[in-house]
């Protein structure tokens, strides 16, 4: 746990009692503050009370007397589409509003660091897609190289729940736009921006607000090194805003689409090869084509980001390359779960929209594609350009027949259930085929979440003979 600094002897309200909220309350208490816990959900309050906490109704007229700050869980809106009424009240009364990320950055460094040979460092990863894989990959590479490291934030543990720093440790944080938007302190040593595509637009008042929330990690944080994906206009803009000159190597541009050889420092992937360039010349290259845990161009972009971060931390290209090959990928994200009789089975249940499904469909050859579920607005017709490697589709769920109507030009079968889809795909698959679960739809028609859908697919595959 990271005891929160700066609030000793003060009352601090905590709104939202999920994983991060309860960790925040414990960290505040460890730092000498008095946390006042509240959640609008009776179920969440009951779980907190079962864990030994006392809830403090922030709706009462006198609830805010003597409160020094309000700490908000990331899922609670503070501005758009409308601020939560308790956050609005705090702001109206001039009570500072923050989140656990802000508390972490004001509390991470301690006097103990004076005795360290090497100061601990933080690497923060944000963007629309690939955040989790990039974060986990950086953590894996550091661990493989023997560097002390922890992973937290939007993946793994809450930031205040991690252990106090060791000498030379690197903490790798995945940060969503919800987390970067509100944090009052953002001071990463290395900040990573993967890419940008429309998401959470209602929460940020549109695309501009969404990008602005991501940009805060760089504009407010002033990282020593900024690693920026430049395959979208926003990334090009962000890199240009930070760099003071073309050769400024504090900015490492990354791309999975084009060569970037003319900058001070760049890392890019083309045709399955990762290249590192500095001051106009290539200094390293890695063949990514046989890295099983990072298939496809989207994962090659993740590899570029993780490579750049680890190079900025002083690791050698050979160390990073070795770690790439032992990275198994994250569950439900282009995850190879089995290979039977020459047929590869891949769980990409996280591909809940057409954009992520398109990336998965471009990552493999000879695909037997399991898709469907609760379809999203706009349908799946935009996937047609990405179906060249699909030998047959097996449609499931509520929108299975709609998918078949929109994509009827490819061989397909209406299977309705995951059981039948897996059985039929496995029965028809030949050596060299890939059975790919990339639903392009939400899971809520048949499963509580995409994780349960992926777990069911995995169980069915593991039960297959061979």
Q: What is the reported pLDDT for 201?
A: 86
Q: Which residues pair with 170 in a beta bridge?
A: 121, 149
Q: In what order do the strands lie in the sheet with 390-396?
A: 335-340, 343-347, 434-437, 367-372, 390-396, 412-416
Give residue limits of the domains in the chain. 11-98, 106-326, 335-462
Dihedrals phi, psi of 349, to nearest 5 degrees: -60, -20
Cα–Cα dist 292/327, whole Å: 8
Task: Look at residue 57 and tell me whether its pLDDT is greater than 90.
Answer: yes
- Helix ranges (H only) for 294-429 are 296-312, 317-326, 354-361, 400-406, 418-428
The DSSP 8-state label assigned to residue 393 in this structure reads: E
Q: Buried (b) or exposed (e) across 10-23, using 16+ Cβ within 10 A?
A: bbbbbbbbbebbbb
Split at pLDDT 50, 70, 90, the class of 197 is: confident
Q: Which residues fall in the annotated binding site for ATP?
A: 127-133
Specify the CATH number of the domain 335-462.
3.90.190.20
- Using CA atoms, how far residue 106 sits from 6, 11, 145, in Å, is 8, 17, 29
Q: How many other CB atoms are found less than 10 A from the CB of residue 381?
A: 11
**From 259-263, 285-289, 310-314, 413-417, the region with the lowest mean pLDDT:** 259-263
Task: Look at residue 245 and tell me whether its pLDDT is greater than 90.
Answer: yes
CATH number assigned to the domain with residue range 11-98, chosen from the 4 options 1.10.8.50, 3.30.1550.10, 3.40.50.720, 1.10.10.10? 3.40.50.720
Q: Give 352-401 pLDDT, tens digit per residue.
A: 989 889 999 999 999 999 999 999 888 999 999 999 999 999 999 999 99
Q: Give 97-151 pLDDT, tens digit per residue.
A: 999 999 999 999 999 999 999 999 999 999 988 999 999 999 999 999 999 999 9
Q: What is the reported pLDDT for 200?
A: 80
CATH number assigned to the domain with residue range 106-326, chosen from the 4 options 3.40.50.20, 3.40.1190.10, 3.30.1360.30, 3.40.50.11720? 3.40.1190.10
Residue range 34-63: mean pLDDT, rounded: 95
Q: Which residues fall in the annotated binding site?
A: 127-133
**SS3 state of residue 208:** helix
Task: Look at residue 199 and tell me whether its pLDDT is greater than 80.
Answer: no
Residue 134 tokens, joined? 């990039």
- Helix ranges (H only) for 244-341 are 296-312, 317-326
Q: Give 403-416 pLDDT, tens digit per residue.
A: 999 998 899 999 99
């Amino acid at each position: 746990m990271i005891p929160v600094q700066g609030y000793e002897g003060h009352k601090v309200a905590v709104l939202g009692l999920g994983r991060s909220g309860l960790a925040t309350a414990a960290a505040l208490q460890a730092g000498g503050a008095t946390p006042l816990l509240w959640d609008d959900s009776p179920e969440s309050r009951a779980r907190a009370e079962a864990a030994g906490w006392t809830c403090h109704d922030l709706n009462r007229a006198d609830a805010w007397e003597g409160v020094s700050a309000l700490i908000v869980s990331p899922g609670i809106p503070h501005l758009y589409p409308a601020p939560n009424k308790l956050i609005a009240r705090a702001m109206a009364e001039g009570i500072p509003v923050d989140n656990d990320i802000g508390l972490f950055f004001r509390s991470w460094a301690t006097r103990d660091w004076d005795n360290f040979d090497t100061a601990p460092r933080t690497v923060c990863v944000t963007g629309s897609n690939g955040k989790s894989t990039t974060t986990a990959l950086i953590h894996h590479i550091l661990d493989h190289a023997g560097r002390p490291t922890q992973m937290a934030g939007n993946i793994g543990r809450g930031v205040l729940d991690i252990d106090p720093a060791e000498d030379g440790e690197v903490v790798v944080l995945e940060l969503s736009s919800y987390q970067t938007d509100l944090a009052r302190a953002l001071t990463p040593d290395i900040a990573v921006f993967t890419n940008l595509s429309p998401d959470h637009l209602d929460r940020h008042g549109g695309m501009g607000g969404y990008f602005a929330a991501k940009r805060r990690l760089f504009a407010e944080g002033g990282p020593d090194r900024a690693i920026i994906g430049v395959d979208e206009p926003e990334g090009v803009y962000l890199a240009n805003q930070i760099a003071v000159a073309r050769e400024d190597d504090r900015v490492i541009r990354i791309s999975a689409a084009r060569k970037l050889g003319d900058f001070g420092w760049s890392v890019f992937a083309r045709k399955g090869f990762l290249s590192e360039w500095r001051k106009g010349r290539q200094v390293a290259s890695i063949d990514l084509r046989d890295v099983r845990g990072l298939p496809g161009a989207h994962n090659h972009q993740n590899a570029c980001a993780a490579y750049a971060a680890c190079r900025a931390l002083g690791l050698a290209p050979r160390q990073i390359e070795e770690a790439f090959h032992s990275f198994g990928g994250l569950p439900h994200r282009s995850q190879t779960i089995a290979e039977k009789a020459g047929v590869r089975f891949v769980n990409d249940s996280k591909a809940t929209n057409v954009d992520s499904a398109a990336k998965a469909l471009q990552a493999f050859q000879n695909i037997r594609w399991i898709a469907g579920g609760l379809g999203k607005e706009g349908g799946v017709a935009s996937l047609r350009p990405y179906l060249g490697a699909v030998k047959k589709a097996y449609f499931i769920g509520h929108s299975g027949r709609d998918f078949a109507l929109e994509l009827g030009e490819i061989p397909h079968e209406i299977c309705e259930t995951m059981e039948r889809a897996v059985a039929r795909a496995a029965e028809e698959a030949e050596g060299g085929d890939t059975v790919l679960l990339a639903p392009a739809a939400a899971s809520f028609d048949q499963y509580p979440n995409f994780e349960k859908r992926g777990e069911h697919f995995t169980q069915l595959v593991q039960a297959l003979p061979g």
